[in-house]
Amino acid sequence: MYREIAVFTGNSHRALAEAVCKHLEIPLGNVQVFQFSNEEVFVKYEENIRERDVFIIQPVVSPVNTRLMELLIMIDAAKRASAGRITAVVPYYAYGRSDKKDQPRVPVTARLVANFVEVAGADRVLSMDMHAGQIQGFFNIPLDELTAFPLISDYFSSLHLPAPCVVAPDVGRAKLARDLAERIGADIAIVDKKRDGNKEAAEAMTLIGEAAGKDCLIVDDEVLTGGTVASAVKLLRARGANSVRVACVHPVLAPKAFQVLDTPDLDEIVFTDSLPLVHGEFKSVKSTVLSIAPLIGDAIHRIHTGGSVGALFR
């Protein structure tokens, strides 16, 4: 067994790391992570981590490449400080959308990032609702993938909506929508979405299923520009939905999302605190944040003690 848990964070999301430590009833570890004037990242652990079970909490948020380098350099520094084991806790795994070679002469960057994390010296990865299941297989080290959808479905069950209908904003999320609909006893509908090449523009073409008179809940892993869900919201309203809500795990939320989603057509947007909101806030639409800190904290505790992580979801 390793010595005691030590949790550290870079500059991605200190509030989440502090909330995880509060749940674990341990102090957040002391580490310096900053950039020199030439933009190079520097890391120094300010406490002894020799043989300790080190967890580095660092979702890869904007500025993505800087936060990724912070994560890699923190792993390297922990390795060289003789940490017993290093777990990269990356609730949001950036570059996850680049998970396959679906056009000629393009990279599979999600795989490249996995290689970086391993080469830096991580022994394990703890992530949440990655964009695609196959990303797990890009790692040759153990990876635990948590899901926040039970949290989201419990929240929606608590609203006691009269005619709930879970909506997949594209066919890729159909299974997720079905699972959630079964969990909360709702109907299901699927949007047929079209994207124009690599442009960040999405169009909801048609709806498979009924929206008239329904309380619709659009579910997605992440929202970036908001184009996918804004287009689905319009379509559902046009088809006579009674209410429309959006839920996502990762609020990547580029500046544009705060414009297109702050609309009276939307009753509520729900997301987790897997990422901080770095590009703005919602002014008129109701936004609800569900914290993943207890889930991450429980998973860390189970990894440290050799308990089952899967049992968290049974």
Q: Which stretch binds ligand R5P (CB under 6 A): 53-61, 99-107, 164-172, 296-304?
A: 164-172
In the complex, the smallest distance separating the C-beta of residue 77 from ligand R5P, rounded to whole angstroms, is: 32
Tokens for 293?
A: 């800190």
Binding flag, residue 129, ligand R5P (CB under 6 A): no
- Sheet containing 268-272, strands listed edge to edge, beginning at the edge strand earlier in sequence: 202-208, 187-195, 164-168, 215-223, 243-251, 268-272, 286-290
In the complex, the smallest distance separating the C-beta of residue 40 from ligand R5P, rounded to whole angstroms, is: 31
Closest CA to 62 of 256, 259, 254: 254
Binding flag, residue 125, ligand R5P (CB under 6 A): no
Binding flag, residue 268, ligand R5P (CB under 6 A): no
Interface with ligand R5P in residues 61-100 (CB under 6 A): 97
Q: Which is nearer to ligand R5P, 216 or 224 (CB)?
A: 224
C-alpha span between 139 and 49 (Å, rounded): 25
Q: Which is nearer to ligand R5P, 29 or 226 (CB)?
A: 226
Binding flag, residue 220, ligand R5P (CB under 6 A): yes
In the complex, the smallest distance separating the C-beta of residue 297 from ligand R5P, rounded to whole angstroms, is: 27
Q: Which stretch binds ligand R5P (CB under 6 A): 33-41, 145-153, 214-222, 300-308?
A: 214-222
* Site residue total, ligand R5P (CB under 6 A): 15
Tokens for 104?
A: 């000629």
Contact, 70 vs 58, CB < 8 A?
A: yes
In the complex, the smallest distance separating the C-beta of residue 220 from ligand R5P, rounded to whole angstroms, is: 5
In the complex, the smallest distance separating the C-beta of residue 144 from ligand R5P, rounded to whole angstroms, is: 21
Binding flag, residue 227, ligand R5P (CB under 6 A): yes
In the complex, the smallest distance separating the C-beta of residue 221 from ligand R5P, rounded to whole angstroms, is: 5
Q: Which of 12, 98, 153, 228 binds ligand R5P (CB under 6 A)?
A: 228
Binding flag, residue 153, ligand R5P (CB under 6 A): no
Closest CA to 152 of 18, 299, 311, 274: 274
Binding flag, residue 202, ligand R5P (CB under 6 A): yes
E strand or H helix at 76? helix 64-80
Binding flag, residue 251, ligand R5P (CB under 6 A): no
Radius of gyration of the chain (CA): 20
C-alpha span between 124 and 85 (Å, rounded): 8
Task: Kindly list the catalytic residues.
Answer: 193
Pairing of the two strands 41-45 and 31-35: antiparallel
Contacts of 81 (CB under 8 A, 6+ apart): 45, 48, 49, 50
Contact, 293 vs 273, CB < 8 A?
A: yes
The footprint of ligand R5P (CB under 6 A) covers 97, 169-170, 172, 200, 202, 220-228
